[in-house]
Amino acid sequence: MKNSDLNADKVYENGGIGGGCDDDVVLGVDGGTTSTVCVCMPLLPLISSNQNLPNPLPILARAVAGSSNHNSVGESASKDTLEKVMSEALSKSGSNWSAVRAVCLGVSGVNHPTDQDRIIHWLRDIFPSHVKLYVHNDALAALASGTMGKLHGCVLIAGTGTISYGFSKDGREARSAGAGPVLGDWGSGYGIAAQALTAVVRAHDGRGPQTALTDCILKALSLSSPDELIGWTYADPSWARIAALVPDVVSCAESGDQIAHKILVDAVQELALSVKAVVQRLSLCGADGNGSFPVVMVGGVLEANKSWDIGKEVINCIHKLYPGAYPVRPEVEPAVGAALLAWNFLVKESERHHNS
């Protein structure tokens, strides 16, 4: 796991990177708390959403920028980041704004129809009127990255923040967690690291037991005393900066530190609980509780690949509740999932038009 980015640390086999193209294109955007990614794909034939997708997927271009979560960086910076990353992807592909047929943005911080309306409103100032615009929470793009554009099952994202999001086959949707660190994104990278920092402060002032987290975190931050943690924390309390300490918490747990171990155990329970809440609301497991459904696993916290494997422990908890749940590790990144959603939405609109 990279310390610098708990949301975008996996190398995905997205497909071939092609050169410029004069044909219609779709854009997929994954806008996270830490980084924002845009991919440009050629428009696939609008035949059926059940048709076989090309393998590898034709990716014309990919661009990366900073955070686009308006709750984290503000609306103006969010708009600038999204416009910049889409412009760069189009430029790299040799395309332009008028060639775009559809755009799907999966952006963290989009939690209400007013958030969607606000983003669509300023997107209309950028794109020609014929372009179809779809704006959703970034969890939708993450789900689509595991199901290759199909909306069914549950996605668990655990990176800097965390959220569980699900879709039933009849189109109902539900979410759990994802309310940000102030309202308790327990199980997220921020949540894990914040509890570790708290444990260090409590150990230092006598309210809690001693822990190996103290020496480990101080060394990681090049600090000499826990007293300096207060200044370090509030000098720049960005969520991603705090979350970057997760690998140190995992290392301490692997070394036998009981405080670090309990922090991770609690995180596993919280993440499994968020999935359970979505599964129950959508009845994804069927009437008998044994129905089959995918659980798409996304985010650096779930991709630790250490002996203390948070993702594996979460799946074990989910399996005890729902034997039919099966984990999916996406082979493409969420931005590609968003592009596939844009294409799927166009296909469904085309089908409705032909059937009307």
For the chain (356 residues), the mean pLDDT of every run of 10, in chain order, is 40 46 84 89 77 85 90 84 95 93 90 88 89 91 92 92 92 90 88 97 97 98 96 88 95 97 97 97 92 94 85 96 95 94 87 72
User: Positive or negative, the Cα torsion across 215, 217, 218, 221?
Assistant: positive
CA distances from 100 to 48, 88, 141, 149 (A): 20, 14, 19, 19
pLDDT confidence of residue 23: 83
Starting at the earlier edge strand, list the strands of the sheet with 100-107: 61-65, 36-42, 25-31, 100-107, 132-136
pLDDT confidence of residue 191: 96
pLDDT confidence of residue 1: 36
CATH fold match for the domains 3-148+332-355 and 181-328: yes
For 82, residues 6+ apart whose C-beta sits below 8 A from its C-beta are 29, 31, 36, 68, 105, 107, 119
Q: Which CATH number fits domain 181-328: 3.90.870.10, 3.30.420.40, 3.40.30.10, 3.40.920.10?
A: 3.30.420.40
pLDDT confidence of residue 8: 39
pLDDT confidence of residue 11: 43
- Reduced to 3 states (helix: H, G, I; strand: E, B; else coil), residue 45 is coil
Q: In this structure, are residues 153 and 296 in contact, taking their beta carbons and an 8 Å threshold?
A: yes
Q: Where do the domains of the chain lie?
A: 3-148+332-355, 181-328
CATH architecture of residue range(s) 3-148+332-355: 2-Layer Sandwich (3.30)
Q: Where are the alpha helices (DSSP H) in the chain?
A: 70-73, 75-93, 113-123, 138-147, 189-205, 213-221, 228-235, 239-243, 246-254, 258-282, 310-321, 334-355
For 40, residues 6+ apart whose C-beta sits below 8 A from its C-beta are 25, 26, 27, 59, 60, 61, 62, 89, 90, 92, 93, 95, 339
Buried b or exposed e, range 218-248, using 16+ CB within 10 angstroms? beebeeeebeebeebeeeeeebbbbbbbbbb
Q: Tokens 């655990």 identify what position?
A: 158
pLDDT confidence of residue 289: 86
Buried b or exposed e, range 259-285, using 16+ CB within 10 angstroms? bbbebbeebbebbbbbbbbbbeebebb
Angle at CA of residue 88, ends 82 and 94, nearest 5°? 140
Residue 19: both structure tokens together: 């050169």
Q: In this structure, are residues 174 and 281 in contact, taking their beta carbons and an 8 Å threshold?
A: yes
User: Positive or negative, the Cα torsion across 279, 346, 104, 132?
Assistant: negative
* pTM of the shown model: 0.81
Q: In this structure, are residues 304 and 268 in contact, taking their beta carbons and an 8 Å threshold?
A: no
Query: Residue 236 carries which DSSP code?
Result: S
